[in-house]
Amino acid sequence: MTRCALAPVLLLLPGAALADSTVTVFGIMDVNLLYGKGSISSRTQVGPGGMDFPRIGFSGTEDLGGGHRAVFWMEADIQPDSGRGGTTNLNNQADPNQPNLGGTQGIMFNRLFYVGLQAPWGRFRTGRDYTPTFAVQAIYDPAGAGGLLGSQSAYSSLTVGGNPTGVRASNSIAFAFGELRSGPLLHVSYALGENPSNSGATSHDGGYRGARLAYTVPPIDVAVAYGVYKLASVGDIRERVIGGIFDVGPAKLWTLYVKDTTGTRNRMHGSMLGVTYPSGPWLFKATVSRAVVRNFGGTVIGATAKAGVGTSYEMSKRTFLYANMARTRNSHGASMMPQGGIGQTAPNHGGMGREIGLRTAF
């Protein structure tokens, strides 16, 4: 991370406290060579995010005294294979008047964008932020709920891939009490769809409310989360997530369970079990996960099992080489690949993927 020289700018601001204000520029670059093969088509590509999602951002703090600090965070997706940015969402809803430019509009701070306060009692922030339910899916998955090794419970969920607030929510207000992975933590979030009050059944669409409760005292790290995604079209999506990490000597065991239900349409439940093992500069990973989708009547309409293994080599504290491979097995009409966009497989057929990549941070 790089600290910026802010003195010339801060001199222009009334009452600026030069010694107590900092701004940091940070980022991750991760590029891989990825091959995917399904029963219908295969694909080879240079892609991003095999180990971490590429990004660039700015963060800042100001010491307000008495243990209080003002903070801000601005973080944008970067596609290092092409230079594209990522898209965002104005009101947590599919907007027919907002064209999907697929990142060609340039850099947008679509990942995170918030301002807040830190105090001895906890933290407050408002803007675009992660939902408590997705936080558990990402923290308790050794692949961070993405990439070739990402849990199938995330890829098949009704929220992460199929809802504008499945990962992050715009117009959110969040409070956290406690510290991440240090004793108890309570994280609550409320987001607005910002619809007019006279819009009928959809007046609350795009809204989200959720909470996460975590407790960490080594060798145990566990969390539960519950969230409601307001959608008149399906009678709302309700998501429950349970995650845990357990130290077993040098190894870590990872476990995750996700259940999504709607008022009138499909339901999904998924689970994951993973293990990571360090050996010198090497880290070895293995995961198995499964997701089952049922219609409202309870009939299974898609089931996918996924298994993956991978390793990374630490060249420095910031730079890693890595290699991963994964396979899916589909039944009941499912046609999932280990990762989207790497090939296509027919219903009830499997898919595979493998990659090698380089990740560095600054």
CATH number at 49 reads 2.40.160.10
pTM of the prediction? 0.90
Domains contained in the chain, number: 1
From the list 108, 101, 35, 121, the residue with the least C-alpha distance to 75 is 108
pLDDT at 103 over 70: no
Tokens in use for 362?
């600054």
With pLDDT > 70 as the criterion, what percentage of the chain qualifies? Answer: 92
Q: pLDDT at residue 250 above 70?
A: yes
Chain length of the chain: 362
Collapsing DSSP to helix, strand or coil, 113 comes out as: strand
Q: Is the pLDDT of residue 95 over 70?
A: no
- Mean predicted lDDT score pLDDT of the chain: 90
Structure token pair of residue 254: 């990872």
Containing domain of residue 64, as a range? 2-361
The torsion angles phi and psi of 163, rounded to 5 degrees, stand at -145, 135
Whether the predicted pLDDT of 9 surpasses 90: no
Q: In the 8-state DSSP scheme, what is residue 39?
A: S
pLDDT given at position 105: 65
